[in-house]
């Protein structure tokens, strides 16, 4: 059987690939016309950077640690993607404030309403080498993505921005140089791995939701990889295996920083470093992984 190509499986929206199965012209129109509220919370990530993790942490902070929502509602409904087709049917305009959403969109793909209202944004970033490794495994298990080919083939696609949601470099550089940053909080996956409780504290402060130290400890404890992996509302086990096949690779796969070292060959890692240096030479910010 011939493998399906990017052109067959993906639509192009503002220059980046989106999987046709979960995005439609209807959902993109819904997204463009979406009415933000100033107290909305929008989590923004490049894929494989800590999306699912934040879909657990933020609701727990907002509920002062009450786990009911995260225990009973799947992550894609409790913190829905604004650009996905399912968002159109969730009556998001009827949700009480503060609403929590997620998007994988790049900065320059954001809607006019977003720039006008300036909702609170939590931007999560991750070492692109680990994003790549996670993405490579994910592309093998998710049937709505083009099969990745060999690791080297996928490495070129990833670096050249031919994966869904486009280039990691454009994504991070775009959001890092957002014109107005008072409403944006930047956090990295690595920071969260290093000290989850401190990260919970920082996020809670940004969201003006004071938590006592016992509550912070409890939220962090619930959200560590091995515990969160058990939550069937968050580990993607509710998705039929014809869409996501956990026998190929689990969604909550490894949950560590630096797994790329177990996967990239020396040649691939060198190529990555060189590409990264060129692309990031104009970026002043020092990332945790630099």
Q: Verify cis geometry, omega within 30 degrees of 0, for the bond prior to 98.
A: yes
CB-wise, 110 or 193, nearer to ligand A3P? 193
CB-wise, 60 or 252, nearer to ligand A3P? 252
Provide, rounded to whole angstroms, the least separation between the CB of residue 234 and ligand A3P.
8
Judged by DSSP in three states, 13 sits in strand
Provide, rounded to whole angstroms, the least separation between the CB of residue 47 and ligand A3P.
5
Backbone angles phi, psi at 160, to 5 degrees: -85, 5
Integer Cα distance of 32 and 7 in angstroms:
23
- Residue showing tokens 């869904």: 164
Instruction: Give the active site residue among 104, 137, 183, 263.
Output: 104
Cβ atoms 191, 288 nearer than 8 A: yes
CB-wise, 207 or 257, nearer to ligand A3P? 257
Q: Which two tokens stand for residue 273?
A: 């470093």
Integer Cα distance of 148 and 157 in angstroms:
9
Q: Is 104 designated active site? A: yes
Provide, rounded to whole angstroms, the least separation between the CB of residue 142 and ligand A3P.
10
CB-wise, 252 or 264, nearer to ligand A3P? 252
Burial classification of residue 215, based on how many CB atoms lie within 10 Å of its CB (0-12 exposed, 13-18 middle, 19 or more buried)? middle
The whole-angstrom distance between residue 64's C-alpha and the CA centroid of its chain comes to: 23
CB-wise, 17 or 277, nearer to ligand A3P? 17
Provide, rounded to whole angstroms, the least separation between the CB of residue 94 and ligand A3P.
27
Burial classification of residue 176, based on how many CB atoms lie within 10 Å of its CB (0-12 exposed, 13-18 middle, 19 or more buried)? middle
Compute how many other C-beta atoms are within 10 angstroms of the C-beta atom of residue 227. Answer: 12
Q: Which two tokens stand for residue 95?
A: 């949700």
Which residues of the chain form contacts with ligand A3P (CB under 6 A)? 45, 47-53, 130, 134, 137, 223, 225, 228, 252-255, 259
Provide, rounded to whole angstroms, the least separation between the CB of residue 203 and ligand A3P.
14
Catalytic residues: 104
């Amino acid at each position: 059987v011939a493998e399906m190509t990017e052109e067959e499986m993906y639509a192009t929206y503002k220059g980046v690939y989106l999987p046709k199965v979960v995005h439609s012209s209807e959902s993109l129109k819904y997204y463009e016309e979406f009415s933000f509220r100033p107290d909305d919370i929008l989590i923004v990530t490049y894929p494989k950077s800590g999306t699912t993790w934040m879909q657990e942490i933020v609701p727990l902070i907002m509920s002062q640690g009450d786990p009911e929502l995260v225990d009973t509602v799947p992550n894609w409904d409790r913190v829905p993607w604004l650009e996905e087709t399912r968002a159109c049917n969730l009556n998001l305009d009827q949700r009480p404030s503060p609403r929590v959403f997620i998007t994988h969109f790049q900065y320059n793909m954001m809607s006019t309403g977003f720039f006008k209202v300036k909702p609170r944004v939590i931007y999560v970033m991750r070492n692109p080498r680990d994003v790549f490794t996670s993405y490579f495994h994910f592309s093998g298990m998710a049937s709505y993505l083009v099969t990745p080919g060999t690791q080297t083939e996928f490495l070129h696609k990833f670096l050249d921005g031919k994966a869904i949601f486009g280039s990691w470099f454009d994504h991070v550089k775009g959001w890092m140089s957002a014109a107005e940053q008072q409403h944006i909080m930047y956090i990295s996956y690595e920071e969260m791995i290093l000290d989850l409780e401190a990260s919970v504290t920082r996020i809670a402060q940004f969201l003006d939701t004071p938590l006592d130290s016992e509550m912070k400890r409890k939220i962090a404890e619930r959200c560590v990889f091995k515990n969160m992996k058990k939550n069937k509302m968050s580990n993607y086990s509710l998705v039929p295996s014809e869409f996501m096949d956990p026998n190929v690779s689990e969604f909550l796969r490894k949950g560590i920083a630096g797994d790329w070292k177990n996967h990239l060959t020396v040649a691939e890692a060198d190529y990555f470093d060189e590409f990264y240096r060129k692309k990031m030479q104009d970026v002043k910010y020092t990332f945790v992984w630099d």
